[in-house]
Amino acid sequence: MENLQGGTLALEHRYHLDRRISTESLLSRYAATQEPFGLPVQVVIFEGLPEAGAADALIERIRNSAERASHHRIEGVLSVVDFGELERGVPFVIEQSAAGTSLSAVLERRGTLPPGEVVQLVERLAEILERAHKRELFHGGLTARWVRLPEGPEAFERANLSFFSIGLTLDELRALPHAALTTDLVDAFAPELFAREDEAELPASARASADQWALGALAYKALSGVHPYFDDPIDASEGLVRIATEPAPTLEELGVEAAISEVIDRALQRDPARRWPSLADFARELRLAVHGPEPDTTPATSPAPAPTPDRNTEVAPADRSDETHAPAYETPRQTGPITPRPSGYLLTLALALFILSNLGWFFFAMGRPADDASTEPEGPTAQVLTSGLQIHSEPPGARLYTLSPEGGEERLLGATPQALTDYVFEGQQGVDFVLRLEGYQDQNLRVEESLAGQDLRITLQPDDR
């Protein structure tokens, strides 16, 4: 067995590891190539399980879940193509891949996404999840690292999803004797999972609701730059206390439009019964909150033609008992004086006068002063926030706060890298910020204008106190 980094994987040497994508608490992800076909794949290796004290039953469960997932072919799901074990019983799973990048890399680079792109992402992932749920296949660990965005336009509308039902459950993580619950291990779990007192398998409805919560948390982070509970990218201890006892802060508190915040807040409800009835409802209401209702293009209904009586149906004659019987073709007599008809000359003259009078009124109205015009306000239009200046810090992950001009009150905006939206600058010429990261000195800055496409990179100085 050669070294995994840039080496060759077992299974008849059919997979070549090209590069390491990421290393997380218990697993590593690699971009690889399936030989001899040259097909791109993703290799997920649970490298940290032996040191964490994983039992054989857990290794077997991962194998069984990978085998079950490999039997499904669902549009939008990157299927499992292989699985097995390395030395010391380290399990690995190999999935389809696609050209492009992961959503986690995009969020790391851009900080946040504008609401329009979040709508496209939520709609796409909701469709994929509902298709999988109909096959009794639930994700159980939906985060940005498992969302693959293809290259080219409309990437969010063509996103793919991987790693269904393979990741460790919260019960399995708690059973590991030597594993710490870090943020990347627990940030996809809904609050009700932390309150479970038994390890019985969850019913399908509960697992579907947990997937909705995870999608809501993903949308929350894409809009604000932070997770609803786990602020620290590594240490999950504070978040574990909050998720067990407190509701998530609303997105409106972080500067997101109220209508958008309400939709995502419902998906993040602690009580599963208070969430959206379905993922489709969640996606539809989020689109309405961002873009408003679609214009009514239904054509006016024309009156239905009168029914034509059937030739073979006998039509009853109308009751004419009160009429005076007369010959069928008798011309009615004229009982009064004959009214003279207007001549063609008079009709032409009347029409000309009508046209001239209307033209005169038109020119009179056009020449009226502007202050006589109607001042009724236009109806409200939906506003969509746009991303502006990108603030980066070295090291990343610093919390970015806005300072109110009156009393210097701080409001958490997100974590770096963070994109400033036009909402932050609403009604202000400039905004004061402070960057704060434990172990480093606070960094104050003022931004006069948020320009899209520009980056501001700030190096934080260590705090020697």
**The pLDDT value given to residue 365:** 47
> Measured between alpha carbons, how far is 418 from 416 in angstroms, rounded to an integer?
5
Domain assignment of residue 464, yes or no: no
For residue 395, is the peptide bond before it cis, meaning its omega torsion is within 30 degrees of 0?
yes
CATH number of the domain residue 247 falls in: 1.10.510.10
173 plus 200 within the same structural domain: yes
Domain assignment of residue 378, yes or no: no
Angstrom CA distances, 258 to 15, 27, 250, 252, 306, stand at 49, 38, 9, 5, 51
**The pLDDT value given to residue 404:** 75
pTM: 0.64
129 plus 173 within the same structural domain: yes
* Secondary structure (3-state) at 304: coil
For residue 61, how far is the Cα from the chain centroid?
Answer: 31
CATH number of the domain residue 435 falls in: 2.60.40
Per-residue pLDDT in tens (0 to 9) along the chain, 465 residues: 334 443 344 544 678 888 888 888 899 999 998 887 788 899 999 999 999 999 999 999 999 999 999 999 999 999 999 888 887 789 999 999 877 899 999 999 999 999 999 999 999 999 999 999 999 999 999 999 999 999 888 899 999 999 999 999 999 999 999 988 899 999 999 999 998 876 567 899 999 999 999 999 999 999 999 999 998 888 899 999 999 899 999 999 999 999 999 999 999 999 999 999 999 999 999 999 999 997 765 555 544 544 444 434 444 444 444 443 444 334 344 444 444 444 455 555 555 666 665 555 555 444 444 444 444 334 333 333 334 677 888 887 777 888 877 666 777 766 777 777 655 655 566 788 888 887 788 898 888 766 655 778 888 888 765
> Measured between alpha carbons, how far is 24 from 384 in angstroms, rounded to an integer?
35
Q: Give bridge partners of residue 41 from the DSSP assignment.
A: 32, 96
**The pLDDT value given to residue 426:** 57
Q: Classify the C-alpha dihedral 361-367-369-373 as positive or negative.
A: positive
Strands (E), 163-270: none
**The pLDDT value given to residue 34:** 86
Domain assignment of residue 55, yes or no: yes
Angstrom CA distances, 1 to 17, 21, 29, stand at 13, 21, 18
The arrangement of strands across the sheet holding 431-436 comes to 410-415, 399-403, 431-436, 443-447
Of all helices (H) and strands (E), which one includes residue 93?
A: strand 91-96
Q: Which of 35, 68, 97 is the last residue of a domain?
A: 97
Q: Classify the C-alpha dihedral 194-197-198-200 as positive or negative.
A: negative
Of all helices (H) and strands (E), which one includes residue 412?
A: strand 410-415
Domain assignment of residue 379, yes or no: no
Provide the residue range defining the domain that includes 438. 387-459
Report the number of distinct structural domains present in the chain: 3
> Measured between alpha carbons, how far is 73 from 55 in angstroms, rounded to an integer?
30
